[in-house]
Amino acid sequence: MVRIIRTRRETKRALLASAQYYGPSDTVQRNTNPDLLNQTLRSIIWFPITPIISIWLNILLLTISYYTRRVFMSLEFINVLLLALQSFFLAIALVVNPSVRYAYAEHAKQRRSEKEARAGIRTQVTY
């Protein structure tokens, strides 16, 4: 998290220096502002968090088992369930990612236009 904040600050400083050197530019201010970086970092932060969510109980379970010398079957069951759900959590992080949603929307739009073009060709041939 500290790295994200530092990167955002460094980017803001670089953009301000660039604006002072090259002059103000609407394109630069619109497309490369710190808010865009912040949004991107928020969307990709979920990818390293999902393994942490899945593995935290495993670490806790190993620690408890080591010190108590007992097997906790209920914790083992939850641990296996969380490890199995790790791929599900990553899939959710992927679906929530705005860039993936945008790419999927573009692909669907292209497929729709191709389908409409094919349907137009078929109707012209049948006449």
pLDDT in tens, 9-62: 777 777 677 666 666 555 555 555 666 666 677 777 777 877 887 788 788 888
What does the pLDDT average to over 65-91?
86
> Residues near 46 by Cβ (< 8 Å), separated by ≥ 6?
92, 93, 96, 97
- pTM, 2 dp: 0.47
Sign for the CA dihedral angle at 86, 92, 93, 94 comes to positive
Q: What is the pLDDT of residue 76?
A: 86
pLDDT in tens, 98-125: 777 778 888 889 889 888 888 776 665 5
Tokens of 13: 């400083």
Select the highest-mean-pLDDT range: 31-35, 53-57, 73-77, 92-96: 73-77
What's the mean per-residue pLDDT of the chain? 76
Tokens of 80: 């296996």
The more confident residue out of 39 and 88 is 88
Q: What is the DSSP letter of 32?
A: S
What does the pLDDT average to over 78-91?
85
Percent of the chain with pLDDT over 70: 69
Interatomic CA distance for residues 109 and 70, integer angstroms = 57
Q: What is the pLDDT of residue 44?
A: 75
Q: What is the pLDDT of residue 67?
A: 92
